[in-house]
Each structure stands twice: as structure tokens, then as C-alpha cells.
Amino acid sequence: MVTLLKIIALTVAFGSQLAAEIIWPTNASRQLSSNFGEFRGDRFHMGIDIKTHGKEGFEVYAIQDGFISRMVTNYNGYGKALYLRTTAGRTAVYGHLSVFTEDLETELYKRQEKLNIYHTNSYFDSTAFRFKKGDIIGYTGDTGASFAPHLHFEIRKQNGKTLNPLKQKYSFPDSVYPEIKGVTVFPLRPNTMINGLPIPMELSVKQGDTGKHWIGDAIYCDNGTIGIAVNVEDKIQYSWNRYQFYKIELYINDSLFFEFSYDSLSFEQSGYMNSVENRFFGGSDGITYHNLFLSDNSPFLLQNKNKTGHISLSSGVYNVQLKVTDVSGNISTLNGQIIWGKTERETMQTSRVWLYRKPTLSIYSHLNILYSPGGLFVEYKDLENKNMVKEVFFIQNGDKSSFDLIQSSPQTYYSRLIPFENFKNMESVLIQREPHPYQFKIKSKVIYPTSQSDLKSYDGLFTVQITDSTLYDTSMLWIEKNEQLFNTKFKLPILSIYKIEPWNLPLKNPAIIRVNLNQHQNQLTGLGLYKYNFKRGDWQFQGKRLTGSSIISAEASDLGVFTVLQDTVPPEIINIYPSQGHSYDFGEILSIECVLNDNLSGIKPTEEALNIILNGKNLYCAYQPIKKKLSYRFQSPLTSGTYAANINAKDNVGNKMEFTLHFTVN
């Protein structure tokens, strides 16, 4: 009897365990285009992207018993999305869907009709839309801010933190080891010298057997504090995509010194991604560096057991090792040495191979300011190579503060790391050289993360307002004119072209850009503020003038190059379905779709600016901003009759397109 009861108990327990297991969320594929924790602009990727190989309409499943707790439709973000609350208390998020199940679609259309809008954000209790594990809840698509059809999938805890889905009972074959492609050492204190110079050093990495790497030279440091950053590339066989690693560990003399893992992330932490990604070093070359050190106020400190990764050692020779693990458990290692406290002469006696990828913020052809954690460097190039260069002076209200320059090559000199405070209200930089000094005019401000400050151009027409929540850390900013940078396929700018430096400074929240227009400019129509996109080679709309105002104001999520341009051309339709004047059989017309284009300011992504009215009835249209596609999907095919669809679209400065599509259904 006891044995029988044990068997029954074990059977029940095993059945409960099977019920708690989660299943893969779609039948599209088990291949990923993106994994958890990847760097995405100014945030982490909080889930995985599952490939659908350019197609829509694959089944999407409830990964576990549960109910739909939330339903969302919008133009950006996840587009059409569902949130499934599981019996285990987790929430599965499915993004970029094309269609929900019939009952959910019916509920969606009912709510859109009631609210008279496309955008919805609906919440449900546990009695409304229940699903069993394996039930279809929707179909994959390409809605929202999606560059291609795929399924975005997340798993969240009850506290809102996202979990790495690939650590939640999911697995697939992966025998490809992470590749450590670069190691960079950063000085974190003003008195730090690395390999005889005061600047960041990118050391050569050599690769041996599978997963084995070593640093081609020792890291020499005489004093101060250093931090290490690495460039890691991880892949999965049969896929060309690059992925984020799962965990990285830094050991010094076999003791764990620092670690970082992508088990889970909160949305608060995601906002501090830029404290982990080193955007200044290698970013212009498309190379991503992952910091193995944190600031004292980093939200990742608790996750890392309050270890900052700042390295300051006593004199001696130390073994250093990095271990990089991917989500499938493949481990790659990198070994090297840190030699601490040697004199400069002893250091220079050892031959070394090192590279320097400088994060340049160019002021003039001779002078650059280089950003680094904790401060700035000054780089001066003596292009004539005929002068005795000694030091650099910062001039502030007539007062001078000087810093030594260290020669790294016959023509190039560097300062040590200089704290931001020394650049406060700087008016010019003077290079002390014999026989004649060289002076550069620069008007800069040092701005603190909890302060508010306005930075103006020399002509007073262009202003950058930094709020008390704009910056992550203390930074130095300045504005310069950059008339050479302009793409000639566009009209000439209405104002000068202004460059805010450092143009690649990560912002926690947007800065506010203001431009003052003169009386003549104020009479022009279609004016807008634009930011230059270096990657795409074009101008992107930021904001327009408010009615009755002589000021153009806009929020900018990134700094860079700005100007004012004029756009007087309305959007146009470049592709449409159904076709103009065509006749169709009953059952053929399930949707109306059109692709829009605009020559400069871009389509305004709002329901007020985009709409389709079919035979007098407003349709609640979806809009895909990447592909510029306006569409409406009917719940059932259009019946026989004659149809007129009035399609309206505005661009961001108010130029309006009106088009009437005529077609018939037999």
C-alpha cells in the first residue's frame, strides 16, 4: 500500500513537472537573428529574435498554460504584441505579430471602434482569454519598429525583470566558441601610464587552439588605476549573425576579480547600457567593446557583488585571465600578464606590439580631444615636425593651467588623463612649442549629470539645453560650425551647420535643441531641424517650428551635426494594393496596403497624419515606420461593390498628400 502511494505521488509530481515545462514559442524556426543582452543603440535587447526567413504567418504558441494579460497595437516598438501570464507566474511577450487569434482580433476591432483609434493598450483578467500550452495565440509578422519579419520573444518575472530565454529550458546545438578579438586597457586615473604612454591601449590578441587566446604582449602599468574592455564575437553554426556572450569573468592570479552575466536585466539597467558598452573606443569602426569595469553608481554593482573592476595593484607580475562563456556553455579563455610598478626604462627595454584606436573628437587638424572614462586626453600633431613641443595650456578667463605632453611618435603628443573639472568654461587651448606657440579657440562647458545648463554657439543662434536628467556622467561639451559636411543631394541649409561635440556622447535622456530664426527665415514654410546620420549619409528630421514662434525646438536623443532645412514637397505613394481602377473577384480583397515616401522630413507617424477612409468609413490602419507601409486588414473579404478609398498622409513639417483609390469587387 505504501509503495502504491509512493508510485501515485511520483506520477503526479512527474506530471506536474511536465506541465510546468515551457515549449518553443513558434514553428517558424529554431534560429536566432538576435539574442538576449545585445547592444541596441542606447539599450539592451531584452529578449530573443526568432528568424522567420522573410515570411509572415507562422504559428505562435502559448509556451505554458496561462491567459492573455495584455494586448498592444502601435506603430512603433513591438507593433502588435501579446503578453501571456503563465501559471508559473512569468509573463511571455510576443512582439511584431501580424494577426491574433480570431477571438482576440474580434476584441481588438471592438476596442478600436469604440475608441476610434488604431493604438490600443488593453489589460485583461485571468478569466477573459485563457490558453493551454501549445495553443495558437497569434501569427508572426513584421509590425512596429521591425526591419524584417521575425518574432521578438521575452520572458519576464513578476517584478518586471526580463530573463534570458535561452536559460529557461531552451537549448539547441552550438559548438562554436566565442572569439576574443580585442583587448583594450584604459587609464582610469590621471597619473596612470600604460605601456609607457598615458592613453588607452588596444593590445594584439593571438589565437591558438579552439577557444584559446593570449595577449601578444604584457600590460605594463607604473601606477594609478586601469580598466579592461574586450571585443568578443560569438556565433552559432549555420548562422552568420553575431550574438552577445552569456558570461565573462576576469581573474587575476586565479582569483575572480570581476564578472558580468546576462541572466536577467531590468528596464532600469537597460537605460544604463552605455556604461557597459564602450562607445567611444572603436565605435566609429563598427567595433563593440564591453567594459569589464563599472562606475561607483552603476546599477550593475549589486549584480557583480559590488566589484567595480578597477585594477590597482602593488608592484609585481600578475597573471590575468578572461573566461567568456556563451549560452550553450562553450568557454573561451584569454591569458596574459600585468607587470605593475616597473620603471619606465625597465618597461621600454621589452619589445612590445600594441595598437591604438583613438576615439577622436576633432577640433582642428592639429588638435584632438579624446574621451575616456573619468576624463579627457589632449592629442596634438606637429605636422611640420619642426618644433619643440612641451606642454598644453587651458585658458579660462585669462588664467592658464598647464599639463605636460608626452611624445609617442615624431609627430604626435599626448597629455595624461585630465579630469573634466580642468576643462570648465575653457576659452582656448594653447600648445607651448618653440619657437612659436599654437592657440586653438574653443568654447566649452563642463556639465554635471544632475545639473541643468545651456550651451550656445558663438553666433548665439544655436543652443543646446542639458537637463538634470540628460547625462549619465560628468562631460565636457562644445559647439563648432562644420560647413564642409553637407550632402549635396539636398537643398542648401537655411542656417549654418552646427556640430555638438562629443557627437557620440551617450545620453540618458534627450537634450533640447533650440534654433533662433531671423525675420526672413521666419516667413519661410516647411522649415525643420535636422540631424546628420553618419551611417546612412542623410539628414533626419528632429523637430519643426511651432505656429507663431520664431524658434525651432526639438528633443535630440543623440548629439551630432544639426542644421535647418526647408521641405515643401508632400509625401507620395510608390506602391498600392488594390490597384487603381482594377476589378477583383469576391474573396480577393483582404487588405488595403500602400507604401509611402517623402523626400526629406519623413512621414509623420501619427493617426492624425495617416488615415484611410473607405466609402466614408474610417479604417483603423497599421503603419510600419521602417518600411513606411500603411495598411488595413479586413476581418472578412470585401463584398461585391464599388469602392473609393481616400488615403491621406502628412510629412513632419505639414505637407499633405491626398489620394483617392477606386476599385470594384465583383
Backbone dihedral region for residue 113 (phi beyond 0: left; psi -120 to 50: alpha; all else: beta) = alpha
- pLDDT value at position 356? 46
Give me the mean pLDDT over the 503-529 stretch.
Answer: 90
Stated as kind and residue range, the H or E segment containing 261 is strand 255-261
- Cell numbers at residue 603, please? 512621414
**Least confident among 162-176, 320-334, 489-503:** 489-503
| pTM of the entire predicted model | 0.89
Q: Are strands 388-396 and 399-407 parallel, antiparallel or unpaired?
A: antiparallel
Give me the mean pLDDT over the 536-545 stretch.
Answer: 90
Tell me which DSSP letter residue 342 carries: -
- pLDDT value at position 4? 39
pLDDT in tens, 281-312: 765 566 788 999 988 778 887 666 768 999 99
Cell numbers 482594377 correspond to 582
- pLDDT value at position 347? 47
- pLDDT value at position 362? 52
Cα angle: 630, vertex 634, 640; to 5 degrees: 115
Residues 463/443, Cβ–Cβ less than 8 Å: no
Cell numbers 552575466 correspond to 261
Q: Which of 390, 402, 393 is nearest to 433 (CA)?
A: 390
Is CATH 3.40.640.10 the right assignment for the domain spanning 572-665? no
3-state SS assignment for residue 129: coil
Cα angle: 390, vertex 391, 396; to 5 degrees: 155
3-state SS assignment for residue 573: strand
- Cell numbers at residue 39, please? 547592444
Give me the mean pLDDT over the 107-121 stretch.
Answer: 94
The CATH number of 446-566 is which of 2.60.120.700, 2.60.220.30, 3.40.50.720, 3.40.50.200?
2.60.220.30
3-state SS assignment for residue 296: coil
Q: Which of 119, 71, 122, 120 is nearest to 97 (CA)?
A: 71
pLDDT in tens, 119-173: 999 999 999 999 999 999 999 999 999 999 999 999 999 988 999 999 998 877 8
Burial of 579 (0-12, 13-18, 19+ CB in 10 A): exposed
In this predicted structure, the answer to whether residue 344 has a pLDDT above a threshold of 80 is: no
Cell numbers 555638438 correspond to 500
Give me the mean pLDDT over the 173-192 stretch.
Answer: 91
In this predicted structure, the answer to whether residue 590 has a pLDDT above a threshold of 60 is: yes
Give me the mean pLDDT over the 329-338 stretch.
Answer: 96
Number of residues assigned to the chain: 666
In this predicted structure, the answer to whether residue 576 has a pLDDT above a threshold of 60 is: yes
Where are the CATH 2.60.40.1220 domain residues in the chain? 572-665
- Cell numbers at residue 488, please? 549635396
- Give the pLDDT band (50/70/90) at residue 483: low
CA 628 – CA 86 distance, rounded (Å): 35
Give me the mean pLDDT over the 52-75 stretch.
Answer: 97
Question: On the CB side of 213, how many CA atoms lie within 13 Å of its CA?
Answer: 25
- pLDDT value at position 343? 52
The architecture (CATH level 2) of 22-167 comes to: Distorted Sandwich (2.70)
pLDDT in tens, 596-626: 999 899 999 999 999 999 999 999 999 999 9
Q: Are strands 438-441 and 428-434 parallel, antiparallel or unpaired?
A: antiparallel
CA 577 – CA 48 distance, rounded (Å): 33
Q: Which of 538, 533, 525, 534 is nearest to 488 (CA)?
A: 538
Average pLDDT, the chain: 87
- pLDDT value at position 283? 57
Q: DSSP string covering 177-239, please?
A: PPEEEEEEEEE-STT--BTTBSS-EEE-EEE-STTEEEESS-EEE-SS-EEEEEEEEB--TT-
Is CATH 2.60.40 the right assignment for the domain spanning 360-442? yes
CA 115 – CA 122 distance, rounded (Å): 12
Sheet containing strand 226-233, edge to edge, reads 290-291, 226-233, 179-187, 201-203, 354-355
CA 521 – CA 652 distance, rounded (Å): 18
In this predicted structure, the answer to whether residue 352 has a pLDDT above a threshold of 50 is: no
pLDDT in tens, 196-245: 888 888 888 999 889 999 998 889 998 889 999 999 999 998 888 999 99
Where are the CATH 2.70.70.10 domain residues in the chain? 22-167
- The dihedral over CA atoms of 581, 587, 588, 589, expressed in degrees to the nearest 10, equals 70
In this predicted structure, the answer to whether residue 457 has a pLDDT above a threshold of 50 is: yes
In this predicted structure, the answer to whether residue 12 has a pLDDT above a threshold of 50 is: no
